[in-house]
Amino acid sequence: MTTMTTVSEAKAFGGTQGVYRHASTATGTDMTFAVFVPAHEAGERLPVLWYLSGLTCTHANVMDKGGYARACAEHRIMLVAPDTSPRGEGVADDPAWDMGQGAGFYVDATEAPWAPHFRMRTYIEDELPALVAAEFPVDMGAQAITGHSMGGHGALTIALRHPDRFRSCTAFAPIVAPSQVPWGEKALGGYLGQDRAAWRAHDAVAMIEDGARFPDLLVDQGEADNFLAEQLRPDLLATACADAGIDLTLRMQPGYDHSYHFISTFMADHVAWAAGRLRNTV
Please check whether residue 173 is in contact with residue 225, taking contact to mean a CB–CB distance below 8 angstroms: yes
Catalytic residue among 53, 85, 149, 168: 149
Phi, psi of 200 (to 5 degrees): -60, -30
* Catalytic residue flag (residue 269): no
- How far is 232 from 84, CA to CA, in rounded Å? 18
What is the C-alpha separation between 63 and 181, in angstroms, rounded?
28
Sequence-separated (6 or more) residues with CB below 8 Å from residue 108: 118, 119, 120, 121, 122
CA-wise closest residue to 74 among 106, 46, 93, 113: 46
Containing H/E element for 7?
strand 4-12
Q: Which of 82, 97, 201 is nearest to 146 (CA)?
A: 82
Please say if 259 is a catalytic residue.
no
149 has catalytic annotation: yes
Catalytic residue among 148, 153, 258, 270: 258
Are the C-beta atoms of 113 and 195 separated by less than 8 Å?
no
Handedness of CA 14, 133, 75, 249 (dihedral sign): positive
Give the list of residues 6+ apart from residue 21 with CB closer than 8 angstroms, or none. Answer: 4, 5, 7, 30, 31, 32, 33
Residues with catalytic roles: 149, 225, 258
